[in-house]
Amino acid sequence: MNANAAIFGCSGPELNAGEAAFFRDCNPWGFVLFSRNVETPEQLKRLCADLRASVGRDALIFVDQEGGRVQRLGPPHWRKAPPAHDFGKLYEREPRAALRAIWLNFRLIAHALRDVGITANFAPVVDIPVTGADPIISDRAFSRTPAAMVEMADACMAGLSAGGVAPVIKHIPGHGRASVDSHKALPVIADGLAALENSDFVPFKALAQAPMAMTAHLVLEKIDDEHPVTVSKTAIKRIIRDHFGFDGLLMSDDLDMKALDGDLSFLTRRALAAGCDIVLQCNGKMADMVKVAKALKPLSGASLRRAFVAQYMCEDAENFDAKQGLEEYNMLMAILDRDDRAL
């Protein structure tokens, strides 16, 4: 039987017997880890192995490891990576150095993730921040300039892919001008399509070859004024699939976020019916996972094909000298420190 169209979290640093039994029976396509699941490298290796054993296959395991304030693996066991905005500052001064530094940074991240068994990263953020918007994106974005964003996001994806970690672009079709944080409420984007076409949409259209993308829980008023993108068949088909040309695996953002209203079974059915290939449910609470599981269906057709492509992205990692890579990375980032001191 094909895996079911979900990515689930778990409750703590060890997989308990109830979770293992549930995952065995439900057979989700993948798993996601958060800070609550992370203690040490050895503990994390065991957890990843146990998650895969519960479904009897080499399932993808995801994490948010952007750097900056969104980094689930951190000191003392893992390097603290800078926010994307720092690379954008370097890009303004030395574009080639910045692109190389981004590649190295995410190649180092991939090396660290693969070492513990994590094979997919919810990065890069390609939302274009807009002045006056909610700060949920802000320094998580490389740039406010679409063309620069495309180059830097592409370097990020290349670094992750070289390390055998599949990237996920987010939050499609663009969260940068949202006036509220979708973790807390539903953003409504009232701007016309011309404004979006010249800014928010640019990176997603340019990076349509990405293997996976995560939806933004927001309403595009000029496309579908009743439904958030995640549950809008119109927005997913007209903008994401047709206009952007994105044919990768489309996953929902976390169904637990306050931007979405309704029972988790209801939301699961709506997201999958609207055109999401996979739903993401992160909190690790058994009662909530059961609600999602009741509405799931096995991956099939185009969704199954897209899932195979995403899995293929992380089958192998290229040879990499992490020590040498870190030395080069530090040398490049020193350009930014040097210039800041000179100001």
Assigned token pair, 311: 């899995």
| Cα–Cα distance for residue pair 286/215, rounded to 1 Å | 24
| Cα–Cα distance for residue pair 60/311, rounded to 1 Å | 7
Is residue 266 within 8 A of residue 295, CB to CB? The reply is yes
Per-residue CA distances from 319 to 35, 121, 165, 322 (Å): 29, 19, 13, 9
- Which active-site residues does the annotation give? 183, 253
| Phi, psi of 247, deg, nearest 5 | -120, 20
| Phi, psi of 7, deg, nearest 5 | -120, 125
Assigned token pair, 312: 């293929």
Q: Within 10 A of 224 (CB to CB), how many other CB atoms are there? A: 19
Q: Measured at the alpha carbon of residue 211, what is the angle toward residues 35 and 144, in degrees to the nearest 5?
A: 75
| Cα–Cα distance for residue pair 151/172, rounded to 1 Å | 17
Q: What is the DSSP letter of 146?
A: H
End-to-end CA separation in angstroms for the chain: 61
| Cα–Cα distance for residue pair 86/171, rounded to 1 Å | 20
Q: Give Cα 30 distance to the centre of its chain.
A: 13
Residues 6 or more apart whose CB falls under 8 angstroms from that of 195 comprise none
Q: Measured at the alpha carbon of residue 115, what is the angle toward residues 110 and 119, in degrees to the nearest 5?
A: 55
Residue 321's closest CA among 165, 164, 119, 163?
Answer: 163
Q: What is the DSSP letter of 254?
A: E
| Cα–Cα distance for residue pair 15/43, rounded to 1 Å | 11
